[in-house]
Amino acid sequence: MKARRTQTRGAFGQEGGECMAGPSKVEFPGQKKQRIRMRGTKHANEATANKLKRELAKLLENPRAHLPVMTWKGKLSWGRTDPVTKTMRALESIIRKKDNVAWLGKRMMSKRGDDVAKAFAGSLHAAHDEDITMVGKFSSGSFGSASFIRRGDGKQGYLAGLQNYSNLTLRMLPWEDHAKRGMYFFTWKGGFVCTGPNPTPPDEWLDDILQRSRFSFTKHDDLSVPVWSTQGLDAQSVLDFKPSGGGYIRFSFKHGPVLAISFDDLSKTEKKESSFIHHLALSMLPPFLPSILKIDANWAPKGWDEDTPLPDSAAEGMDKIIDAWQGLTMNEGVIALAIRRAVLDSIDSGLVVGESWITGTDFESIEEALRFHPGSNDERHLAAHMLYASMDEGAVDGEGLRITPKGYVSERKAAALEVMEGTSCGNILGALWEKWGMKGLEGLGIKDAEAEEIWKKQQKKPQPFGTFLKSLDSARALAQKVARFPTRGDTLPGATGAVHDLILQGLLEGDGKAERTATHRHDSIDSAAAAWAWLLAAGRSAGQEWHFEINARDRGGAWQAATKQLLEAGKTLYNCDADEVEGVTVAWVEAFAALKTVTGEGN
C-alpha cells in the first residue's frame, strides 16, 4: 500500500506556509480527509439542525417580523435621527436583496457599516443553506444560550439573537448598542417593540410577563389604575399602600399599573425557579427596572398603629434590601424575611415579641404577647412580670436588648427590648433573672427578705424554671425560715462569723455539707478553731482530729459551750411556729453575743 505525507493546514484551512508547521501526517488511499472544527462550534444534532432550519426559514420568509417595531415617532434633539431608525433603513436595503446570495456574502463581510446589518445579512445568507452540519455555541449569563450558524463578520451574539427569534430574551441582544445609546426595547410572546428614549412598555407586555411568571396574579380593573395582586391581598389597600395580608412588595409602574406580591408567595421559592425580578428585567433592554417602575415594601409588626410612621432607619433598611434584590445579589426567597428583620431592628420604643409590637406599659398585654411562646402558664406569668419590670426601667444609653431563642442576651442599636420568635419563656427567665428576678418575684407577691433568699438560691444554683416554679411553695417556706435569722444578711468576720455560717449551712443544707466545709483546709488558727468548735457542738468530731492542729483543737474546745448554745438557739428559731419567732429571736441574739465574747470579738 502506498502512503504519502501531507502538510498540516492552519486553523481556518489555509496552507501552513505562513504558520508554524505541525508534525506531518500520513494519509492512505481511500482515507477521508479530516476536517478541523473551529473553537466554539459543535456538530449539529438532528433536533438542533431542524430547529435552526425552522427559525431561518421564518427569517427568510418574513425578515421584517424579526425586527422590533418602532413605536416612537419623535425626533432627537437638533432634529437628529435616532440610531434604531438608521439601522432599520440599513436592514431594509438588505431585505430587498434577501435572495441574492452573492450580494449577501459581500455584505456580511463588509468592514464598514452597521454591526446589526452585517449579522442580519449573514443570517439571511445562512438561511439559504440546504444542510446544517456545524453550528456555533453562544452562552450568556443574562441572555441565555443557543446554537447558531456562523456566517460573515457579524458578532456571535447578534447572529444568535437574529437566528433564535423565539428566544424572547436573546432576540434583544443585537440591539444592545442601541440600548446603550438611550433607546428602550420590550419583548414578549406577542411582540417586540422599541419605544425610543421613552421607557413606556405596552400593556400587552405586562400582561404576558405576569402570565408567564411563577406567581398567580389577579387583575383588578375596577380601580383608578389596573392593579395586579397575588392571593390574600386587598387591591384597594395595595393601591393606597395600606397594610394587607402579612405584608407585600409593591411595583408601581410609571405608566400607571400597580403590581403586588405577598410576602407569603415571595417566600415560596424553589431553587430551580427563576427570580421574578430577573424575569421582569430581562424582558426589557436595557434591563434597568428603575426606569419604568418603583419598588417598595409594606410591612409592620402586629400591633403597630397604622397612622404612626415607622422609624426612618426602617425605610433605609428596606431600600437596601430591595436594591440588593434588583441587583440580583440577594436570594428572592429571603427578601420577605430580610425586610421583616430590618423593620424589627429599627423599632426604638416599646416591646417587640416575635413579630408583634406592644407599648409594654401594661402587664396583661405582655402576657398575651407571650401566649405563643413555649412554656408553662406559670413560666409565662413570671416572664411577663419580669419583662414588665424591665420595660418600666427603660433602655440604658439609648441601646436596647435582644433575647435570642437560645436565651442569649445581646445589644441592639434601636432602644427597644426584643424577644425573638421561638424564644421559650424559660429562656426569657434565664436571661432576665439576674437583673429583674427580684421584681418578678415581687409580681408573684414574694417580697423583701423572702424574695431575696429565693432569688439568691436560684442565682447561685440555677434550676430549670419549670422545676423552680413547681417547688416555689417549698422554696418560699424555706425562705421564710431563713428570714427569721436577723444576722443572715451580714458578712461576719472572724471566728464568730465562721461558726455562724456553719450553723446556718447545717440548718439549711444539712450537717453533711457543713461537715465537709468544716474539714476543708483553713487559712488561720481562728478559722480552724471555729470549725472544730462547731464539730464538737454538732457531735460530728469523731475521727476528724487529724484535720486540725492541737492549738486549733484546744481553742475550739474552749468555744464549744458558746457554740453549742448558739446552735441550739438556731435549731429552735428554725423550727418554731410563726407566733414564737419574736421571742426565740431574742435567745438567738443573746447566744450570738455570748459567742462573740468568748472568741474575744465582742468589741
Note the pLDDT tens digit of each residue in 183-238.
Answer: 999 999 989 999 999 999 998 999 999 999 889 999 999 989 999 999 999 999 99
Which pLDDT value is given to residue 284? 93
Note the pLDDT tens digit of each residue in 555-568.
Answer: 888 998 988 998 89
More confident residue, 12 or 146: 146
Kindly tell me the burial class for residue 367, based on how many C-beta atoms sit within 10 Å of its own C-beta (0-12, 13-18, 19 or more).
middle
Which pLDDT value is given to residue 395? 58
Task: Say how far apart CA 117 and CA 114 lie, in whole Å.
Answer: 5
DSSP conformational letter for 302: B
Residue 444 and residue 565 share a domain: no
Residue 141 and residue 45 share a domain: yes
Note the pLDDT tens digit of each residue in 102-117.
Answer: 999 999 998 887 899 9
User: Is 513 a member of any domain?
Assistant: yes
Residue 207 and residue 323 share a domain: yes
Task: Say how far apart CA 585 and CA 488 lie, in whole Å.
Answer: 12
Residue 548 and residue 471 share a domain: no
Sheet order of strands, 356-358 included: 356-358, 351-353, 417-419, 400-403, 409-412
Nearest Cα residue to 83 out of 157, 186, 177: 177
The chain-wide mean pLDDT, for the chain, equals 85
292-296, 398-402, 515-519: lowest mean pLDDT where?
Answer: 398-402
Residue 207 and residue 341 share a domain: yes
Query: Residue 476 in contact with residue 450, Cβ under 8 Å?
Result: yes
Q: Are strands 293-298 and 25-27 parallel, antiparallel or unpaired?
A: unpaired
User: Is 194 a member of any domain?
Assistant: no
Residue 505 and residue 466 share a domain: no
What average pLDDT does range 22-29 have in this prediction? 56
| Residue 68 predicted with pLDDT over 90 | yes
User: Is 177 a member of any domain?
Assistant: no
Note the pLDDT tens digit of each residue in 426-469.
Answer: 999 999 999 999 998 888 878 887 788 888 888 888 888 888 88
Nearest Cα residue to 178 out of 93, 277, 254, 68: 68
Residue 486 grid cell: 436577723
What average pLDDT does range 359-375 have in this prediction? 90
User: Is 415 a member of any domain?
Assistant: yes
Residue 269 and residue 292 share a domain: yes
What is the band of 479 on the pLDDT scale with cuts at 50, 70, 90? Answer: confident
DSSP conformational letter for 116: H
Nearest Cα residue to 279 out of 264, 299, 259, 297: 259
> To which H or E segment does residue 297 belong?
strand 293-298
What is the band of 18 on the pLDDT scale with cuts at 50, 70, 90? Answer: very low
Residue 339 and residue 389 share a domain: no
What average pLDDT does range 303-330 have in this prediction? 89
Query: Residue 574 in contact with residue 471, Cβ under 8 Å?
Result: no
> To which H or E segment does residue 317 belong?
helix 312-326
* DSSP bridge pairs for 352: 357, 418
Residue 587 grid cell: 435567745
More confident residue, 14 or 89: 89
Query: Residue 158 in contact with residue 173, Cβ under 8 Å?
Result: yes
| 256 contacts: CB under 8 Å, gap ≥ 6 | 225, 226
Query: Residue 230 in contact with residue 238, Cβ under 8 Å?
Result: no
Instruction: Give buried/exposed letters for 292-301 (b at 16+ CB in 10 A, else e).
Output: bbebebbbbb
pTM for the full predicted model: 0.71
Of 121, 152, 183, the residue that ends a domain is 152
| Residue 10 predicted with pLDDT over 50 | no
Alpha helices, H only, 282-424: 312-326, 335-346, 363-369, 377-393
Which pLDDT value is given to residue 29? 65
Alpha helices, H only, 423-580: 425-443, 448-460, 465-470, 472-482, 494-509, 511-518, 525-538, 550-558, 560-575
Task: Say how far apart CA 503 and CA 515 lie, in whole Å.
Answer: 10
Chain-centroid distance of CA 274 in Å reads 20
| Residue 136 predicted with pLDDT over 90 | no
Nearest Cα residue to 66 out of 103, 94, 27: 94
* DSSP bridge pairs for 140: 144
Return the ∠ at Cα 137 (arms to 136 and 143), rounded to 5°. 130
Residue 364 and residue 469 share a domain: yes
Residue 594 and residue 509 share a domain: yes
Task: Say how far apart CA 269 and CA 251 lie, in whole Å.
Answer: 19
Side chain identity, residue 475: A
Of 296, 323, 346, the residue that ends a domain is 346
Number of domains the chain is built from: 5
User: Is 307 a member of any domain?
Assistant: yes
**Containing domain of residue 432, as a range?**
351-481
Which pLDDT value is given to residue 489? 60
Note the pLDDT tens digit of each residue in 525-552.
Answer: 888 988 898 888 888 888 888 888 888 8
Residue 217 and residue 339 share a domain: yes
Of 307, 329, 346, the residue that ends a domain is 346
Nearest Cα residue to 592 out of 512, 505, 501: 501
Which pLDDT value is given to residue 27? 60
Which pLDDT value is given to residue 326? 86
C-alpha gyration radius of the chain: 43
Which pLDDT value is given to residue 396? 58
User: Is 318 a member of any domain?
Assistant: yes
* DSSP bridge pairs for 296: 250
Residue 395 and residue 328 share a domain: no
User: Is 98 a member of any domain?
Assistant: yes
User: Is 591 a member of any domain?
Assistant: yes
Task: Say how far apart CA 437 and CA 458 lie, in whole Å.
Answer: 9
